[in-house]
Amino acid sequence: MHAGETALESHWGGGALPFGASWQKTMMWIFIVTDALLFSGLLSGYAFLRHSIPSPWPRQSEVFSIPFIALMTFILITSSMTMGTAVTASRLGDRKKALRNLIFTIIGGLAFLGCQAYEWTALIHEGARLHTNPWGPPQFGQAFFVLTGFHGSHVFSGLVILIVTAIRTAMGRTPAQGVELAGLYWHFVDLVWVFIFTLFYLL
């Protein structure tokens, strides 16, 4: 009993490192959980829309170019791989490799945002708006713009963080943990896309 209490104390006692991570990393994780709940709410709202409207939901393959969406997914997955490489390189003290991979990640993020801007423009030209669209239920336009818009804004803020991190890395002023925290946020953006890609574009 006493040993069990000691074990609990060591894990949950609120010591300096209850999660075995620095306070910065712990706070980043808590932020990521809360941000994930925001997207969880948005996706649940989207599920509500799809379940509650009598008219059929448009077939995604008739509205979107799925190969183009797959290309966007490829770009984001690849940028996550370069980000992971940058995090490890930074930890190993290889500043050049960390910076090079941060730049690759930024290019990937810019390419993704460019693709998203192109997709939005194409759909707006075809008549898609927040409250109307040519393919049927108006909720389709709402779900599309809100989900991809929120995600795109996260990609944009992630890019700002990455650019600042890259500049500071080039100046030798970012500790390895700074790159790791930026990486956690970037991977989170990729993670959210996995859900949007499956639940909105494929299902």
Instruction: Provide the minimum distance between the beta carbon of 125 and other proteins in the complex, in angstroms, as a whole number.
Output: 25
Hunting for tokens 């000691």 — which residue is that? 6
Q: Which is nearer to other proteins, 76 or 128 (CB)?
A: 76
Answer yes or no: are the C-beta atoms of 156 and 189 closer than 8 Å: no
Alpha carbons within 13 A on the beta-carbon side of 136:
14
Instruction: Provide the minimum distance between the beta carbon of 83 and other proteins in the complex, in angstroms, as a whole number.
Output: 7
Quick count: other Cβ atoms within 10 Å of Cβ 200?
20
Q: Which is nearer to other proteins, 97 or 168 (CB)?
A: 97
Instruction: Provide the minimum distance between the beta carbon of 140 and other proteins in the complex, in angstroms, as a whole number.
Output: 15
Q: Which is nearer to other proteins, 8 or 124 (CB)?
A: 8
Q: At what angle do helices 95-125 and 138-170 cross, to 10 degrees?
A: 160
Give the DSSP H or E segment for 43: helix 23-52
Instruction: Provide the minimum distance between the beta carbon of 112 and other proteins in the complex, in angstroms, as a whole number.
Output: 14
Query: Residue 13 is encoded by which pair of tokens?
Result: 């006692």
Q: Which is nearer to other proteins, 24 or 121 (CB)?
A: 24
Positions that interact with other proteins (CB under 8 A): 11-12, 18-21, 26, 29, 32-33, 36-37, 40-41, 43-45, 47-54, 61, 66, 70, 73-74, 77-78, 80-81, 83-85, 88-89, 92, 183-184, 187-188, 190-191, 194-195, 197-199, 202-203
Region class of 151: left (phi > 0), else alpha (psi between -120 and 50), else beta: alpha
Q: Which is nearer to other proteins, 163 or 199 (CB)?
A: 199
Answer yes or no: are the C-beta atoms of 82 and 104 closer than 8 Å: yes
Instruction: Provide the minimum distance between the beta carbon of 149 and other proteins in the complex, in angstroms, as a whole number.
Output: 20
Spacing of C-alpha 203 from chain mean position: 20
The closest alpha carbon to 111, from 76, 82, 77, belongs to 76
Q: Which is nearer to other proteins, 8 or 167 (CB)?
A: 8
Instruction: Provide the minimum distance between the beta carbon of 123 and other proteins in the complex, in angstroms, as a whole number.
Output: 20
Q: At what angle do helices 176-196 and 138-170 cross, to 10 degrees?
A: 160
